[in-house]
Amino acid sequence: MEEQNSTKSNSSDKPLKDLIPDGQGNHKPGKFQAFAAIFNGLGIGAFLGLLLGLSVSPVVSGVIGTISSLLAILVGLNEKFLDPIKSLRIGSFGLFSVVGILLGLYIRANNPFAPSLADKMNDYLEIGYSDIEARKFVTGFIRADSTIAKREANVLYSTEFKIEACDFLVYANSETPATELFNTFNTAGGIWEKLVTQLKKDLNEIQSMTTLLILRDSFCGDNSSAEATIVASQEITQLDQNSTLNEMSLAFENSGTPWPEIIFKLKNQFSQAERELILHSLIKIFNHE
């Protein structure tokens, strides 16, 4: 018993560094181990890099911070804990994360897998549209200040936003005083607050109030207590302040529920010049201008 206690006492008296095995032993990694480590880092790094480069979500900033912290911890360890295999894995992970991010950004910006405008033109001609009609469909996606036929933007450029607080807005109507109505939509927050801020900048009081009520009725629908998600499609997000009323109306009408209903209601309430102002104002919100 005394010998066992003595052995335990001697072990516990040793410094911590003597109890941890030295990671820099005489072990040398084989070629297969080195290849496996590089392949491991390549796969994970390229995967994460592509996800970061292709995504436009604000969540990505948190992911980047987390990955940076993990890499700082791994690379910052004492060298005795970094054997050659682990070093290869960490180095290849960091390198191919950068490669993956650059590749993802290139794909998102250029969308190389999408058909060219010439291909789209031929598709329209093949299904029976005239040459003039096909050109109108295709050239609607070309920027007014561009001399080069660009490809369509990737679907990742579409904007998605949640519709909340419909039950809070249900009592607002055309008889509500302007100050009270604007304050109600501001208090609802989210997309409603952005709409109020932008519409008040671009429109007069009556136009802003009417537009807000039309959007409220179309976004919220009959069920004011339910939450919904509205998508401003790639056709809408490609529009800019140089887009004509016809181009904007067509893009919104082709974007699915509830946009055709909104365009129909705007036509019944406003003149062409007023509708152009309203749609340009909405485009600023969706494009975060």
Count of the separate structural domains present in the chain: 3
Clarify whether residues 229 and 129 are in a common domain. no
Determine the pLDDT at residue 212.
94
Determine the pLDDT at residue 183.
93
- Domain termination residue (choose one: 110, 143, 166): 110
Clarify whether residues 166 and 260 are in a common domain. yes
Nearest to 233 by CA among 159, 142, 148, 125: 159
Which residues, in sequence order, are CB contacts of 118 under 8 Å at separation 6+? 149
Is residue 174 a part of any domain in this protein?
A: yes
**Residue 223's domain spans which residues?**
155-286
Determine the pLDDT at residue 102.
77
Sort residue 111 into left (φ over 0), alpha (ψ -120 to 50) or beta. Answer: left
Determine the pLDDT at residue 149.
37
Determine the pLDDT at residue 133.
74
Clarify whether residues 262 and 170 are in a common domain. yes
pTM value?
0.49
Is residue 15 a part of any domain in this protein?
A: no
**Average pLDDT of adjacent 10-residue blocks, the chain of 289 residues:** 49 49 53 68 70 63 65 54 63 70 75 76 82 71 40 49 85 90 90 92 94 92 69 84 90 88 93 94 82
Is residue 272 a part of any domain in this protein?
A: yes
Is residue 21 a part of any domain in this protein?
A: no
* C-alpha–C-alpha distance, residues 221 and 266, integer Å: 16
Determine the pLDDT at residue 208.
94
Clarify whether residues 60 and 177 are in a common domain. no
Determine the pLDDT at residue 24.
45
Determine the pLDDT at residue 276.
94
Determine the pLDDT at residue 155.
38
| Residue 227 DSSP SS3 | coil
Is residue 226 a part of any domain in this protein?
A: yes
Is residue 244 a part of any domain in this protein?
A: yes
Is residue 17 a part of any domain in this protein?
A: no
Is residue 64 a part of any domain in this protein?
A: yes
